[in-house]
A and B are shown apart, each in its own frame.
Chain A
Amino acid sequence: MTVLVLTSPQDVTADLVVAELHERGVPLVRLDPADLPGGADLSAEYVHGDFHCYLSARGRMVGSRALRSVWVRRPGEPAAHAPGTSAWLGAETAQALYGMLYSTTARWMNHPRQAAQARYKPWQLRVAHLSGFAVPPTLITTFPGVAAEFAARYGRVVVKSLSGPPRTDPPVALPTTLVEPGTDFAGVAAGPTLLQQYVAKRADIRLTCVGGRLFAARKASAEGQVDGRYGDTGHAWEPAGVPDRIARPVREFMDLAGLAYAAFDFAEDAEGLWWFLECNQGGQFGFVELETGQPIAGAVAAWLGAPPPARP
């Protein structure tokens, strides 16, 4: 039974897991959808109520009956590298590839349907509430007056993007930023804006969930630091225990979201409470593993390589 790894060739984080799969003797096919067609190939037959499909990449092939699991890591856009590619060819290739993979019984980390849903921050916040996390008061609005009223009510608020930074050349970053008192909110009318009550934190927490296994890492914050991903604080990521009051909501969130993998970001306040900030369904884990030594790649490989559940 084979594991299918959908990612780009340059993805060295995926290498950590591929090496673990090799060590376990688990067959795998690594394929970048961008290489289809030309650098990789596919075929699927729906005949007489039966279904078979095959994928091949660089001399390796996997058929639907031998497909154990699919890991969606950092796949390129389908057909992006194909000669004479076009938006239409990309759409056709995506239909063929993902349509046939959806038709198999393979386990997914994560299924693209669940992944797409989990990327919506407003949905995440609702599920986080339902799961039992502490979530800072949050507003998403296009009304400048509502934004100004929210900021006045909570005193210190941060602004963050819903979908990441704009895709520009040269590239820009959009870190979570504290909104200064007296700020003009007129620009809120020009685009949905996410404001959140500022959590004065003493540490950032990154909790990676792989199947049912939890790996928490903690990095002490610098005085007044808002976005832990920017600026050198002089502190390193260190392994942290997971309190039961966090483990339960994490598992509840994973169940509600239908995810097999996710990386959660929390802010730890002065009382030690972990505030839910966001859940990254495809979140990076390489930097945590390298700094803490936590065996996250091994856990991913173990999940992907696990025998399929027995059929009734």
Chain B
Amino acid sequence: MQPFACSYARPQKASEDVTASYVYDPALQLNVLSDGRPAISDRALMLAAGTTTSTAGSQTHFDD
């Protein structure tokens, strides 16, 4: 028998992986885009990045 709550689980919608569009720059201690701008200057990318949104318990941190 599966736990009651698990009967309400649903497939996690695949979110667009935007992490490939920026890379960590150890000198700046920030992520940068391919043109050298900080990743945080790209609002659309930030909104798409799973790390900025609340997802009811990510796979790594459940207290989002």
Q: In the bound complex, how far is the Cα of B5 from the Cα of A188, in angstroms?
A: 8
Given A19-B40, A147-B4, is A161 in contact with B57 using a C-beta cutoff of 8 Å? yes
For residue B26, CB closer than 8 A to chain A, the reply is yes
On whether the beta carbons of B30 and A15 are closer than 8 Å, the reply is yes
Picked from B10, B22, B28, B53, the residue with its CB within 8 Å of the CB of A287 is: B53
B51 CB to nearest chain A CB (Å): 5
The interface size bin for chain B is: 35 or more
Q: Which residue of A30, A164, A176, A227 has the most chain B CB atoms within 10 A of its CB atom?
A: A164
For residue A190, CB closer than 8 A to chain B, the reply is yes
For residue A298, CB closer than 8 A to chain B, the reply is no
Chain B residues with CB under 8 A of A273: none
A259 CB to nearest chain B CB (Å): 11
The chain B residue sitting closest to A291, CB to CB, is B47
The interface size bin for chain A is: 35 or more
Residues of B within 8 A of A (CB): 1-13, 19, 22, 24, 26, 28-31, 38-40, 43, 45-47, 49, 51-64
Sample of 15 more A-B contacts, CB < 8 Å, known A12-B51, A188-B4, A286-B46: A12-B52, A19-B38, A28-B29, A147-B4, A164-B62, A172-B11, A173-B9, A173-B56, A173-B57, A174-B8, A175-B10, A187-B4, A280-B54, A280-B64, A290-B47
